[in-house]
């Protein structure tokens, strides 16, 4: 995603002070998170409705006015993120952004890895640095990969030069070891090859350590995530599948043409000696669906 942030007066003052003192660049240290749809202004000194802050886990200048920033929230709180803020290492509110629609929704059960291209209208991004190791792997910028946009999405996202739909691609190790390390302990990392075969929508690190396998969503139908919508339907959890089924239903069978109007049902006696009526009890599941699963991850590739 691409966001244009407003640099605050305090943020500009910090840049001027660092330039005067010869201490550039300044360090972007934390990302503030808020569900409030805030209209950012230069005079802002706080992020309204801030529910927490997370440490910047990656940062990289990708053009003269744009940086790529990654931050992770592994807390158990669910929220709809509408506004974000960037804080310097000393706690100064450097810049912020807000919008009415959610930027991303975080379910309680997964880690949010927020990846954004942040543009500043009149800031030289070479005056900024970051407080954590970059997630970018590989010696060539075109192969740098971030764990980004890791969330449920509700429609197929077309592949572009920046986004690849996960179809089980193998990423060589140790070239992408940073990504493999970031997945340690993740519930959607397959425990072994058998688990990966049973649930292709999971990540998998090869037993011999030679590659990291992305989720495979070829030929699978996609659906909204595993939230309980109160309709009695059991939705698959992220990265897993639900088998095809018919919705639970019963059948009735008229005894004769005369009884059809009254929907009479055949009894055992209607079949004569040695015959039993068909099983007309309810069969099926909680919904009528094909084989499908819940897409929960999109990997950003540069």
Structurally, how many domains does the chain consist of? 3
75 & 209 share domain = no
Distance of CA 2 to the CA centre of its chain: 16
178 & 106 share domain = no
- CA dist., res. 242 & res. 234, Å (int): 9
Domain membership of residue 17 (yes or no) is yes
Give the chain's residues under pLDDT 70.
1, 58, 131-166, 218-220, 222, 224-228, 238-241, 252-278, 294-302
Domain membership of residue 135 (yes or no) is no
169 & 239 share domain = yes
66 & 99 share domain = yes
| Residue-level pLDDT at 147 | 36
- CA dist., res. 77 & res. 83, Å (int): 16
Domain membership of residue 140 (yes or no) is no
3-state secondary structure of 70: strand
Domain membership of residue 153 (yes or no) is no
Tokens linked to 209: 């350590």
Domain membership of residue 86 (yes or no) is yes
232 & 121 share domain = no
Query: Nearest to residue 296, comparing CAs of 148, 76, 143?
Result: 148
Tokens linked to 297: 């991850």
49 & 64 share domain = yes
Between vectors from CA 200 to CA 194 and to CA 204, what angle results, nearest 5°?
A: 65
Domain of 225?
159-248+290-302
pTM for the predicted model, two decimal places: 0.48
257 & 217 share domain = no
Task: Give the model confidence (pLDDT) of 154-185 as tens digits.
Answer: 334 445 544 456 678 888 888 778 778 877 77
275 & 294 share domain = no
Query: Strands (DSSP E) along the chain, which ranges?
Result: 2-4, 6-7, 26-34, 50-63, 66-73, 79-81, 83-88, 93-98, 104-106, 112-119, 128-130, 145-146, 163-164, 170-172, 204-205, 211-213, 221-223, 241-242, 292-294, 299-301
195 & 209 share domain = yes
Domain membership of residue 141 (yes or no) is no
196 & 258 share domain = no
Domain membership of residue 152 (yes or no) is no
Task: Give the model confidence (pLDDT) of 13-52 as tens digits.
Answer: 999 998 888 888 888 888 999 999 999 999 999 999 999 9
Domain membership of residue 270 (yes or no) is yes
Task: Give the model confidence (pLDDT) of 99-109 as tens digits.
Answer: 999 988 888 77
266 & 236 share domain = no
- Residue 204, judged by CB atoms within 10 A of its CB (0-12, 13-18, 19+), counts as buried
102 & 210 share domain = no
């Amino acid at each position: 995603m691409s966001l244009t942030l407003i640099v605050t007066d305090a943020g500009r003052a910090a840049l001027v002070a660092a330039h005067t003192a010869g201490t550039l660049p300044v360090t972007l240290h934390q990302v503030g998170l808020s569900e409030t749809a805030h209209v950012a202004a230069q005079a802002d000194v706080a992020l309204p409705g801030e529910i927490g802050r997370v440490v910047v886990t990656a940062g990289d200048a990708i053009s003269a006015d744009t940086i790529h920033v990654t931050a992770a929230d592994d807390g158990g709180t669910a929220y709809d993120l509408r506004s974000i803020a960037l804080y310097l290492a000393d706690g100064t509110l450097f810049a912020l952004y807000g919008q009415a629609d959610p930027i991303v929704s975080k379910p309680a059960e997964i880690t949010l890895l927020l990846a954004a291209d942040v543009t500043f209208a009149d800031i030289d991004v070479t005056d900024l640095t970051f407080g954590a190791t970059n997630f970018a792997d590989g010696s060539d910028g075109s192969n740098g990969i971030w764990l980004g946009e890791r969330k449920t999405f509700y429609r197929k996202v077309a592949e572009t030069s920046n986004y690849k739909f996960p179809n089980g691609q193998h990423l060589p190790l140790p070239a992408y070891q940073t990504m493999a390390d970031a997945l340690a302990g993740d519930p959607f990392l397959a425990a072994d090859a058998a688990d990966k075969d049973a649930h292709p929508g999971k990540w998998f690190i090869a037993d011999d350590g030679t590659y990291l396998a992305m989720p495979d969503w070829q030929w699978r139908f996609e659906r909204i995530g595993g939230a309980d919508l109160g309709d009695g339907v059991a939705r698959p959890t992220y990265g897993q599948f639900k088998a095809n089924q018919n919705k639970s239903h019963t059948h009735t069978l008229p005894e004769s043409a005369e009884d059809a109007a009254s929907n009479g049902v055949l009894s055992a006696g209607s079949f004569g000696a040695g015959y039993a009526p068909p099983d007309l009890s309810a069969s099926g599941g909680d919904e009528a669906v094909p084989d499908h699963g819940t897409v929960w991850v999109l990997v950003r590739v540069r």
